[in-house]
Structure 1
Amino acid sequence: MAEDWTEKYRPKKLSEVIGNPSAVKELEEWALSWKAGIPDKRAVVLIGSPGIGKTSSAIALANDMDWDLVEMNASDQRTAAVVKDIAQRASYFNSIGMDEEYKGGNRKKLIVMDEADNLFGNADRGALPAINDLIKTTKQPVILIVNDFYALSKKSATVKSDTIQITYRRPVARSIAGALKKIAASEGVSADDAALMKIAENSNGDMRAAVRDLEALSHGRKELNKESTEILQERIVKKDMYSVLGKVFRENDPFGAKKTLSDVDIEPRDAMLWIDENLPYEYKEPGDLVRGYEKLSRSDVFLGRVSRRQYFGLWSYASDMMTAGVAVSRHGGKAGYGQFRFPTYMVKMSRTKSMRGIKSSLCLKIACAMHTSTKGVALDILGPLKELARNDEKIRIMLVREMGLEPEELGFLIDAKIDSKIVKETLEKASQMRTNKETETPREEVPIKETYPRDTGIPEQPEKNENNTPITTAKKPGKNLFDF
Structure 2
Amino acid sequence: MLWVEKHKPRTLSEFVDQKKAVEQAKSWLSRFKPGKALMLTGPSGTGKTLLAELLARESNLELLQVNASIPGLPEELKRILDSVHSKSIWHSGKLILIDEVDSLSARDRGAVPLILKIIRESPHPVILTAINPWTQRLRPVLAESEQVKFSRIPWPQIARKLAEICRKEGIIAEPGCLQELAKWSQGDLRSAILDLQLIAEGKTRLEERDLAALGYRERESSIFDVLQRIFKAGNIRTAKLAIQSCDKDPDEVFLWIEQNLPLVYEGEELAKAYDLLSLADLYRARVRKQQNWRFRLYMIELLASLSLLKPKEGWISYKPPERLLRLGATKQERAEEKEKLSELASQLHCSVRKVRTEYLPFLKKIGPARTRTGI
Residue of structure 1 equivalent to 2:301 = none
Aligned: 1:220 with 2:214: no
Residue of structure 2 equivalent to 1:205 = 187
Separation of aligned partners in 2, 1:156 and 1:168: 18
TM-score calculated relative to the size of structure 1: 0.44
**Over residues 312-352 of structure 1, what are the superposed CA-to-partner deviations in whole Å (9 max), with x where a residue is unaligned?**
xxxxxxxxxxxxxxxxxxxxxxxxxxxxxxxxxxxxxxxxx
Q: Is the 1:79–1:126 contact (alpha carbons within 8 Å) kept by the matching residues of 2?
A: no
Residue of structure 2 equivalent to 1:185 = 167
SS of residue in 1 equivalent to 2:219: coil
**Over residues 343-365 of structure 1, what are the superposed CA-to-partner deviations in whole Å (9 max), with x where a residue is unaligned?**
xxxxxxxxxxxxxxxxxxxxxxx
Separation of aligned partners in 1, 2:159 and 2:52: 23
SS of residue in 2 equivalent to 1:155: coil
SS of residue in 2 equivalent to 1:150: coil
Q: Is the 1:41–1:164 contact (alpha carbons within 8 Å) kept by the matching residues of 2?
A: no
From 151, 154, 179, the equivalent of 1:172 is 154
Residue of structure 2 equivalent to 1:140 = 124
From 5, 8, 15, the equivalent of 1:7 is 5
Report the CA distance shift for 1:211/1:236 in structure 2 as closer, same or farther (over 3 A): farther
**Over residues 429-457 of structure 1, what are the superposed CA-to-partner deviations in whole Å (9 max), with x where a residue is unaligned?**
xxxxxxxxxxxxxxxxxxxxxxxxxxxxx
SS of residue in 2 equivalent to 1:117: helix
From 49, 54, 57, the equivalent of 2:51 is 57
Map 1:260-409 onto structure 2 (within 5 A).
265=247
Q: Is the 1:11–1:57 contact (alpha carbons within 8 Å) kept by the matching residues of 2?
A: no
Report the CA distance shift for 1:40/1:121 in structure 2 as closer, same or farther (over 3 A): closer
From 13, 21, 24, the equivalent of 2:22 is 24
Letter in 2 for 1:25: E
How many pairs does the alignment contain? Answer: 226
Report the CA distance shift for 1:184/1:33 in structure 2 as closer, same or farther (over 3 A): same
Separation of aligned partners in 2, 1:33 and 1:235: 47
Q: Is the 2:171–2:203 contact (alpha carbons within 8 Å) kept by the matching residues of 1?
A: yes
Separation of aligned partners in 2, 1:198 and 1:156: 37
Cα drift, residue 112 of structure 1: 0.7
Residue of structure 2 equivalent to 1:108 = 93
**Over residues 348-392 of structure 1, what are the superposed CA-to-partner deviations in whole Å (9 max), with x where a residue is unaligned?**
xxxxxxxxxxxxxxxxxxxxxxxxxxxxxxxxxxxxxxxxxxxxx
Residue of structure 1 equivalent to 2:308 = none
From 156, 160, 163, the equivalent of 2:142 is 160
Report the CA distance shift for 1:64/1:227 in structure 2 as closer, same or farther (over 3 A): same
Separation of aligned partners in 1, 2:120 and 2:7: 35
Letter in 1 for 2:209: E
Cα drift, residue 157 of structure 1: 4.3
Letter in 2 for 1:88: L
From 61, 70, 78, the equivalent of 1:76 is 70
Letter in 2 for 1:224: L
Q: Is the 1:83–1:131 contact (alpha carbons within 8 Å) kept by the matching residues of 2?
A: yes
Report the CA distance shift for 1:236/1:41 in structure 2 as closer, same or farther (over 3 A): farther
Separation of aligned partners in 1, 2:62 and 2:34: 22
**Over residues 111-167 of structure 1, what are the superposed CA-to-partner deviations in whole Å (9 max), with x where a residue is unaligned?**
111111122233x2211101111111211111111111101xx22543222211111
Unaligned runs of 5+ in 2: 222-244, 250-375
Cα drift, residue 45 of structure 1: 0.7
**Over residues 177-226 of structure 1, what are the superposed CA-to-partner deviations in whole Å (9 max), with x where a residue is unaligned?**
01111111111111122111011011111111110111112123101122
Separation of aligned partners in 2, 1:237 and 1:29: 37
Separation of aligned partners in 2, 1:220 and 1:159: 45
SS of residue in 2 equivalent to 1:72: strand
Q: Is the 2:69–2:104 contact (alpha carbons within 8 Å) kept by the matching residues of 1?
A: no
Say which one has the larger Rg: 1
**Over residues 261-286 of structure 1, what are the superposed CA-to-partner deviations in whole Å (9 max), with x where a residue is unaligned?**
xx99599xxxxxxxxxxxxxxxxxxx
SS of residue in 2 equivalent to 1:148: coil
Q: Which of the pair has the greater relative contact order for Cα pairs under 8 Å at 6+ separation? A: 2
Separation of aligned partners in 1, 2:179 and 2:75: 47
Unaligned runs of 5+ in 1: 96-101, 240-262, 268-484
Q: Is the 1:80–1:125 contact (alpha carbons within 8 Å) kept by the matching residues of 2?
A: yes
**Over residues 17-71 of structure 1, what are the superposed CA-to-partner deviations in whole Å (9 max), with x where a residue is unaligned?**
212110111011112224xxxx266311111121111111111111111111111
Cα drift, residue 169 of structure 1: 0.6
Q: Is the 1:110–1:142 contact (alpha carbons within 8 Å) kept by the matching residues of 2?
A: yes
Separation of aligned partners in 2, 1:140 and 1:220: 44
Residue of structure 2 equivalent to 1:125 = 109
Separation of aligned partners in 1, 2:152 and 2:51: 14
Q: Is the 1:79–1:125 contact (alpha carbons within 8 Å) kept by the matching residues of 2?
A: no
